[in-house]
Amino acid sequence: MTKSPRVLIAGIGSPFGDDQAGWLVVDQLKQMLDANLAADDTPETSHPDIARLLVRKARVPLDLLDWLSGVDILHVCDAGHNATQTGSLHHLSYDQESLLNSAEHDFPGGQGSFRGHDYGVLDVLRLAETNCSLPQQIEFWIVSGSRFAASDDISRDVAAGVRLCAEQIWNSVIAKETTDSATQLLAVSEDERRRHA
């Protein structure tokens, strides 16, 4: 049976206003995963590679460096500064080469999307590349926000964007992994049946 890729889903954020978006996406994904596992207690359909899926919250992009070893696919969820499209979701997909050749102005919201920290996400991933720990595939999920002050609550539009982001990641990562694993189990069962026939 082919080993599933190791996937890290990292939400970057803080407790302030729309900057909570990355953390809230991770919270929703954890709830969805827990509910899915609780409802699925049969070995034929349970997810055999759950240990290969990591879901973490980061306060700053540098936190990613501690988690990238052995990761094949990285999903980064973060809030981006964009007052005109608050709550809109942007998904960008890169392989190693295209990421290293990209510039921060290529992202929705420009540098604001990844520059709310001393080291931006792109800086950290370029550093990971020098340490040979850059994943083969990198997916960015950016929820645009406009309220980032410590006294701000998350805006209604960003909360809706968080829900959409969690659903899309679930469908592209977790539900796909479950389906792929079930397909692999069926293929192995079919091979076993043929050998004993």
- From the first residue on, what is the mean pLDDT of each consecutive set of 10 residues in the chain (197 residues)? 80 94 95 78 50 87 92 94 84 86 60 56 87 91 92 95 95 66 42 48
List C-alpha distances in Å: 155 to 120, 158, 171. 24, 5, 25
DSSP H or E stretch at residue 26:
helix 21-39
Q: Which domains does the chain have, with CATH numbers?
A: 7-196 (3.40.50.1450)
DSSP H or E stretch at residue 74:
strand 73-81
Which of 122, 113, 153 lies closest to 20 in space, CA to CA? 153
* SS3 of residue 33 by DSSP: helix
List C-alpha distances in Å: 188 to 4, 47, 51, 107, 159. 15, 15, 20, 42, 42
Angle formed by the axes of helices 156-169 and 21-39, to 10°?
40
Task: Enumerate the β-bridge partners of residue 11.
Answer: 57, 77
Taking the C-alpha atoms of residue 81 and residue 71, their distance in angstroms, rounded to an integer, is 28
Taking the C-alpha atoms of residue 143 and residue 108, their distance in angstroms, rounded to an integer, is 10
Sheet holding 89-95, edge to edge: 53-58, 7-12, 73-81, 137-145, 89-95
Written as six digits, the tokens of 44 are 């034929």
CB-based contact 133:69 (threshold 8 Å)? yes
Taking the C-alpha atoms of residue 6 and residue 8, their distance in angstroms, rounded to an integer, is 7
CB-based contact 117:59 (threshold 8 Å)? no
In this structure, the strands spanning 53-58 and 137-145 are unpaired
